[in-house]
Amino acid sequence: MKSRLIFVLAITAYIIPSFAFNNYLWGEISGNDYILAKDKVSKAFFVGLVQTKKYVFKQKDNLNALTITAIKITDKKEKNGATAELLSGGPGSKGATILFQSKRGYGINDVVEIWGR
């Protein structure tokens, strides 16, 4: 019985991450927030290479710029999606820089939504 439980847990630990999406939410979206930007971030795969792409959100008018309250990233790949790292800015600031990195041999296909007020 104990070995069967360990076997089921090992299989589950192997299978679940392969179907996991790399979705992210930094901050909180409330009813008063506006969508400041919605962009698709993509980069084609190349055999044997890790793909990276930097996404920069910058508002044109710094004096009237809105404050970011949330950043939502939706992974459009069913498996082997890219990871995202918030390098600078984000919730509480006026801009943001996000670095996307794929797994080796895979591409990037994400949607970034920037919310603010």
> What distance in Å separates the CA atoms of residue 102 and residue 47, rounded to the nearest whole number?
12
Per the structure, how many domains does the chain have? 1
Q: Look at residue 34 in the predicted model and tell me its pLDDT.
A: 92
Total length of the chain: 117
Residue 75 resides in a domain: yes
Residue 26 resides in a domain: yes
Residue 58 resides in a domain: yes
At a CB cut-off of 8 Å and minimum separation 6, what does 38 contact?
A: 111, 112, 113, 114
Domain span at residue 69 reads 21-116
- pLDDT tens-place values along the chain, 117 residues long: 565 656 545 444 444 444 456 899 999 999 999 999 999 999 999 899 999 999 999 998 877 889 999 999 999 987 888 999 999 999 999 999 999 999 999 999 999 999 999
Residue 3 resides in a domain: no
Residue 12 resides in a domain: no
Residue 28 resides in a domain: yes
Residue 82 resides in a domain: yes
Residue 42 resides in a domain: yes
Question: Which of 22, 16, 11 minimizes the C-alpha distance to 72?
Answer: 22
What is the torsional sign of CA 106, 102, 49, 56? positive
